[in-house]
Amino acid sequence: MGALGKPIILMVAMYVFLKFVLPYIPGSAPLPSSLIALYLLLTGSGIVIFETLSKESKDAFWGPIQRFLTGETIGGLQALRYGVLIFFPLLVGWQTYGSTAVSDLPPTESRTIHPAPPGEYTGLSNPVPKTPDNIMQGKGFYAAYCSPCHGGNFDGKGPAARGFIPAPANFADPTTIAMLQESYLFWRIKKGGVGLPIEGAPWKSAMPRWEVELPDEWIWKIIMGEYDGAHQSPRTWE
Amino acid sequence: MKPGNQMIKQVLRNGTAAIVAMIIGGASIGYAQESVSVRAALTTGGLPLEDPNAAVWSSAPPATFPMSPQVHWQNRIQEVTVKDVIVRALHDGNQMAVLLEYADPTQDPDDAAALEFMVGDKKAHFAHGQPMLQVEGGPVNIWFWKNKTDKAVDMSAKGFGTLKPQEHQDVKAKGVYANGTWKIVFSRNLSTGHAEEDVQITPGEFISIAFAVWDGRKDGSGELVEKGSQKAVSSWWYFRADAPPDYSGYMYAAIAAALALGFQFVLIRKLKKGQSA
């Protein structure tokens, strides 16, 4: 089995490298399984070409495979041979079934959580001076209009939040308002769930369109109150 | 030796292809997710259109969905009685029936419940198909039941304030209250002649469904607490009527396995011949 042993070790080593070593090299990332399969296929093809370059190496390579398949002079491997001969048709059948069966999974939803705002809502700065009074007022408005869903503790766990999927944003979470600019919040608060673009589908956001109920100045104050209450700062470009 | 070698190459190639396909397709083993979709089971013994307590309902898998107070639009409400709805569905290839079940401590004349569906290919916001500002959304079809009349009203909407009963009333409903629980059956033909206003249900296809419930209790001054837009709502979930059983996958699998088996026999025979020659 010498001529077969090396290729098998090489294939296993290649798989281990691609799967468990490569992702940990700085600047790298885990490979998708389809890419790993492709690399293994290339490795396998390379081995076959290499082993069939000369007549000797070809016989040394194919001989054991051929003896194994025909079952002659393989002794104790006979059981393994029958196993392979039974397993292969079952594998082909299972794979065929898998590729023709109808999926029971609902359509995947590729919702963009923070879609790009329309041009007029990029780069606006908060026109309300950041004074303790204004922050206090903003927190008051927040308590009245936002806290039922987004929570008195700015954690997205208000009494009315239950049942909304996606859940109301948790402002204390560093991946929400901390990575957004104030003008982005201004857009989302003004336009609400119905202001989402197509990439925000399936439009399950219950966020109200506050522009029909609240003046802009109140919204800017609410934004200030949210950042202060959640102990976060808006993202800036500096 | 030559044909034998080629055969071996062939089998290795096919084997590798099968293994590669297995690795790629390995994640596609399907299983039903009851928590995100209502599955209408196919039944042949007649649908319990008027009977929420029929034994056949136990053959339909239940799905539970959380409810929230309606806060998207005025007039809002911040607390509602019904926290969850349990939904089952059945169909027989022509008609479908949906059983809505929820806890409500009191039976009141103004108790009411509704199902909502997207209509056609356009997506719609779950709040009555409220118009989207950047994209053109579609209409919704609402099946509304009220205890007072114990009937369904088949309605259409494309935004708040546009809700109106349809000219063609295709939906039936029947509610039964017992032991603090409402059970309401909504039923309709899978398809109607009015695809522009009614949801059309094709077995095997996922469609979007949402729920609403009004507890018709009154406050101290005799005013209804939950009415109109002040109600318990859900956002969109999925609904699918089971397609008729399809066994062709097993047939294809059996054919493929038989072909692979035959291929092995031929290959080994050729190899043996080559060796003895």
CA-angle at B80, arms to B77 and B81, nearest 5°: 160
Using pLDDT thresholds of 50, 70 and 90, give the confidence band for residue B160.
confident
Q: Answer whether residue B26 shows pLDDT above 50.
A: no
Which residues on A lie below 8 Å from B71 (Cβ)?
148-149, 160, 206, 208
The answer to whether the Cβ–Cβ distance between A66 and B275 falls below 8 Å is: yes
Q: Answer whether residue A198 shows pLDDT above 90.
A: no
Which residues on A lie below 8 Å from B76 (Cβ)?
208
Q: What is the mean pLDDT of residues B210-222?
A: 96
**Size of the A and B interface in Cβ pairs below 8 Å:** 188
The answer to whether the Cβ–Cβ distance between B23 and A103 falls below 8 Å is: no
Which residues on B lie below 8 Å from A41 (Cβ)?
16, 20
Query: Phi and psi (nearest 5°) for B61?
Result: -65, 130
CA-angle at B78, arms to B74 and B82, nearest 5°: 115
pTM for the full predicted model: 0.77
Which residues on A lie below 8 Å from B254 (Cβ)?
93
Using pLDDT thresholds of 50, 70 and 90, give the confidence band for residue A197.
confident
Which residues on B lie below 8 Å from A213 (Cβ)?
74
Using pLDDT thresholds of 50, 70 and 90, give the confidence band for residue A2.
low
Instruction: Identify whether the C-beta of residue B87 lies closer than 8 Å to the C-beta of residue B62.
Output: yes
Interface mutation vs chain A, best among B134, B213, B233, B248, most A CBs within 10 Å? B134
**Which helix H or strand E contains B85, and what residues bound it?**
strand B84-91
Least confident of A4-13, A16-25, A89-98, B22-31: B22-31
Q: What is the mean pLDDT of residues B272-276?
A: 76
Using pLDDT thresholds of 50, 70 and 90, give the confidence band for residue B34.
very low
**CB-neighbour burial class of residue B36 (10 A; exposed 0-12, middle 13-18, buried 19+):** middle
Listed ranges A23-37, A47-61, B186-200; the one with the highest mean pLDDT: B186-200
Using pLDDT thresholds of 50, 70 and 90, give the confidence band for residue B11.
low
**Which single residue is written with the structure tokens 């909407």?**
B157
Assess: ipTM above 0.85. no
Which residues on B lie below 8 Å from A116 (Cβ)?
none
- From the list B66, B238, B257, the residue facing A163 with the nearest CB is B66
The answer to whether the Cβ–Cβ distance between B256 and A66 falls below 8 Å is: no
Q: Answer whether residue B18 shows pLDDT above 60.
A: no
Instruction: Identify whether the C-beta of residue B7 lies closer than 8 Å to the C-beta of residue B267.
Output: yes
Q: What was the pLDDT predicted at B260?
A: 95
CA distance A206 to chain B (A): 5
The answer to whether the Cβ–Cβ distance between A203 and B66 falls below 8 Å is: no
Task: Give Cα B229 to chain centroid, integer Å.
Answer: 25
Using pLDDT thresholds of 50, 70 and 90, give the confidence band for residue A142.
very high
**Which single residue is written with the structure tokens 């939950």?**
B226
Using pLDDT thresholds of 50, 70 and 90, give the confidence band for residue B184.
very high
**CA gap B75, A41 in Å, rounded:** 63
**CA gap B116, B140 in Å, rounded:** 7
Closest chain B residue to A164 measured between Cα atoms?
B68
Q: Which residues are CB-neighbours of A210 under 8 A, at least 6 positions away?
A: A145, A189, A190, A192, A219
Q: What is the mean pLDDT of residues B57-64?
A: 94
Instruction: Identify whether the C-beta of residue A48 lies closer than 8 Å to the C-beta of residue B12.
Output: yes
**CB-neighbour burial class of residue B65 (10 A; exposed 0-12, middle 13-18, buried 19+):** buried
**CA gap B96, B81 in Å, rounded:** 28
Q: What is the mean pLDDT of chain B?
A: 88
- From the list A89, A97, A208, the residue facing B252 with the nearest CB is A97
Q: Please name the amino acid found at residue B156.
A: S
CA distance B107 to chain A (A): 24
Using pLDDT thresholds of 50, 70 and 90, give the confidence band for residue B17.
low
Which residues on A lie below 8 Å from B238 (Cβ)?
106-107
* 3-class SS of residue B118: strand
**Which helix H or strand E contains B15, and what residues bound it?**
helix B2-25
Q: What is the mean pLDDT of residues B237-263?
A: 92
Q: How many CB atoms lie within 10 A of CB A28?
A: 10
Interface mutation vs chain B, best among A12, A51, A52, A95, most B CBs within 10 Å? A95
Q: What was the pLDDT predicted at B27?
A: 37
Q: Answer whether residue A215 shows pLDDT above 80.
A: yes
Using pLDDT thresholds of 50, 70 and 90, give the confidence band for residue B13.
low
User: What is the dihedral sign for C-alpha B99, B104, B109, B111?
Assistant: negative
Q: Answer whether residue A186 shows pLDDT above 80.
A: yes
Q: Answer whether residue A210 shows pLDDT above 90.
A: yes
Q: What is the DSSP letter of B224?
A: B
CA distance A94 to chain B (A): 6
Q: What was the pLDDT predicted at B33?
A: 37
Exposure of A38 in the CB half-sphere (CA atoms within 13 A) = 5
Instruction: Identify whether the C-beta of residue A115 lies closer than 8 Å to the C-beta of residue B43.
Output: no
Which comes out higher in pLDDT, residue B271 or A227?
Answer: A227
